[in-house]
């Protein structure tokens, strides 16, 4: 009994010493000393898989022994699958991958490697495995989208098998496609976003509306906006049906995207929502102005119009000590050519709430306009305070 204990002790010491210096010879000795340790057979398999050694048959032989000793090692099964792949034994490779998945069905690394092994022999199964990777760890999202789209030969319907049917995942896919100018594919994904599970907040999809607008597809962008309104209460209500301006009374939150008010910092302008001074409701948009050659006040909104149609454009303004050679106007421009289609009378000085309005006939070919405050000409210094409320565009 004592002799056996000493033998086992010496065996363990020898195995530990050999493991300290990794080499082919040491691993061979370690495998002989401890034939029931699958780790040594696996290590030998990896050594012979290496291109520098280059003996895939011997690698497979060692890896087969490794999984025979420990059939629960998903890593060893995947390494064996890789060996079968080198030898062109597709059926055995597929079986090894399945055994790895049986060992660790929810392990992200196993799913990832298995997916990449299957993609070119069983595309649908490989894409399904990629979807599991995406669901388990979104750090893999970029890789999943790239591999799925490439492996499916840019077939977006097929690639979507790999993308979880959630609003977040489908929007990520759209972002990825648009960033690569795959705009038509992104258009194809959009209906699946509307059917996907999970909350859909309007601001998460504004990038898509911007893409459509930049591609001169304003009607399609407005359709997407209307579809968003059915899913996100933020876009619902607050604007009369006859008024084409969204949140023209500034009673709702500013969206900074889509067909809501957009705002960017503008030199010499400080804009706030004012709850103390307003024409109607409970608040207005106020501007503290102090700058030279100010033309753009930072706030604008895209509006869909019909070519040849007639509209009335109006808004209520109030000013205190607004001083300049040229005052502030309500302006409508073509969204693409940026040419002025309408300028109201200018506001200057100090005056209580008053309406500024003008008639607009939309020229042929114009479907999208932008409404904003502007100065034209913009020469010289302007300072003072201006309030804006109840902005409307109504068809006559």
Q: What is the model's pLDDT at position 380?
A: 94
Q: What is the model's pLDDT at position 236?
A: 67
Q: How far apart are CA 58 and CA 48, in angstroms?
A: 7
3-state class (DSSP) for residue 381: strand
Is residue 144 predicted with pLDDT exceeding 90?
yes
Which CATH architecture is the domain 16-234 placed in? Alpha Horseshoe (1.25)
Q: What is the model's pLDDT at position 104?
A: 85
3-state class (DSSP) for residue 266: coil
* Phi, psi dihedral angles at 95 (to 5 degrees): -65, -40
Which of 112-121, 222-231, 308-317, 345-354 has the least mean pLDDT?
112-121
* Residue 275 or 31, more confident: 275
pLDDT tens digits along 237-286: 556 678 999 999 999 989 999 999 999 998 999 999 999 999 999 999 99
Q: How many CA atoms lie within 13 A of 178 on its CB side?
A: 22
What tokens were used for 184? Answer: 């038509």
Q: Which fold has domain 262-395?
A: Jelly Rolls (2.60.120)
Q: Are the C-beta atoms of residues 301 and 369 closer than 8 Å to each other?
A: no
Q: What is the model's pLDDT at position 51?
A: 55
Which of 114-118, 147-151, 324-328 has the least mean pLDDT?
114-118
Q: What angle do CA 118, 119, 121 make, to 5 degrees?
A: 65
What's the chain's average pLDDT? 88
* Nearest alpha carbon to residue 213 among 183, 189, 193: 183
Q: What is the model's pLDDT at position 20?
A: 47
Mean pLDDT within 314-320: 98
* Residue 210 or 102, more confident: 210
DSSP sequence for 79-147: HHHHHHHHHT-HHHHHHHHHHHHHH-TT-HHHHHHHHHHHTTTSHHHHHHHHHHHHHH-GGGHHHHHHH
Which of 60-74, 150-164, 208-222, 274-288 has the least mean pLDDT?
60-74
pTM above 0.75, yes or no: yes
Q: In angstroms, how far apart are the furthest CA atoms of the chain?
A: 108
Beta bridge partners of 334: 369
Q: What is the model's pLDDT at position 38?
A: 58
- Domain range annotation of the chain: 16-234, 262-395
pLDDT tens digits along 164-222: 999 999 999 999 999 999 999 999 999 999 999 999 999 999 999 999 999 999 999 99
Number of H helices, E strands in the chain: 14, 10
Which of 32-46, 73-87, 237-251, 339-353 has the least mean pLDDT?
32-46
Question: Percent of the chain at pLDDT above 90?
Answer: 64
Is residue 3 predicted with pLDDT exceeding 70?
no
Which of 135-139, 280-284, 301-305 has the least mean pLDDT?
135-139
pLDDT band at 106 (very low <50, low <70, confident <90, very high): confident
Is residue 118 predicted with pLDDT exceeding 70?
yes
According to DSSP H, which parts of the chain are helical?
A: 2-20, 24-33, 38-49, 56-69, 74-87, 90-103, 108-118, 123-136, 141-151, 156-159, 167-179, 183-195, 206-214, 218-231
* Residue 151 or 241, more confident: 151
Q: How far apart are CA 250 and CA 227, in angstroms?
A: 22
Q: Are the C-beta atoms of residues 290 and 348 closer than 8 Å to each other?
A: no
Q: Are the C-beta atoms of residues 53 and 35 closer than 8 Å to each other?
A: no
* Residue 142 or 39, more confident: 142
Q: How far apart are CA 388 and CA 396, in angstroms?
A: 23
Is residue 31 predicted with pLDDT exceeding 70?
no
């Amino acid at each position: 009994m004592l002799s056996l204990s000493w033998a086992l002790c010496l065996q363990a010491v020898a195995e530990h010493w050999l493991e300290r210096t990794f080499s082919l010879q040491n691993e061979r000795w370690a495998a002989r000393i401890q034939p029931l340790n699958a780790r040594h057979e696996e290590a030998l398999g990896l050594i012979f898989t290496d291109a520098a050694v280059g003996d895939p048959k011997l690698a497979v032989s060692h890896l087969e022994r490794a999984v025979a000793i420990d059939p629960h090692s998903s890593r060893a099964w995947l390494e064996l699958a890789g060996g079968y792949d080198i030898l062109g034994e597709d059926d055995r490779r597929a079986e090894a991958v399945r055994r790895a998945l049986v060992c660790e069905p929810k392990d992200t690394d196993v799913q990832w490697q298995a997916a990449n092994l299957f993609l070119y022999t069983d595309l649908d199964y490989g894409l399904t495995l990629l979807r599991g990777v995406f669901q388990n760890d979104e750090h893999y999202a970029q890789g999943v989208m790239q591999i799925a789209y490439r492996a499916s030969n840019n077939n977006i319907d097929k690639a979507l098998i790999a993308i979880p049917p959630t609003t977040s995942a489908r929007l990520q896919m759209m972002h990825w496609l648009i960033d690569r100018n795959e705009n038509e594919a992104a258009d194809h994904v959009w209906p699946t976003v509307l059917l996907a599970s999970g909350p859909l907040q309007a601001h998460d999809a504004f990038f898509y509306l911007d893409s459509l607008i930049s591609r001169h597809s304003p009607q399609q962008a407005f359709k997407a906006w209307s579809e968003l309104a059915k899913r996100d209460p933020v876009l619902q209500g607050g604007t009369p049906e006859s008024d084409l301006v969204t949140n023209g009374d500034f009673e709702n939150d500013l969206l900074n995207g889509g067909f809501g008010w957009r705002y960017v910092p503008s030199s010499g302008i400080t804009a706030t929502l004012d709850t103390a001074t307003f024409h109607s409701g409970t608040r207005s948009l106020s501007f503290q102005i102090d700058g030279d050659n100010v033309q753009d006040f930072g706030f604008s909104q895209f509006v869909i119009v019909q070519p040849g149609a007639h509209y009335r454009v109006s808004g209520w303004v109030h000013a205190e000590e607004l001083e300049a050679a040229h005052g502030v106007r309500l302006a409508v421009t073509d969204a693409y050519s940026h040419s002025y289609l309408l300028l109201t009378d200018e506001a200057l000085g100090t005056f209580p709430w008053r309406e500024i309005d003008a008639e607009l006939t939309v020229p042929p070919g114009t479907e999208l306009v932008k409404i904003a405050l502007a100065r034209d000409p913009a020469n010289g210094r302007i300072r003072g305070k201006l309030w804006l409320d109840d902005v409307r565009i109504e068809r006559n």
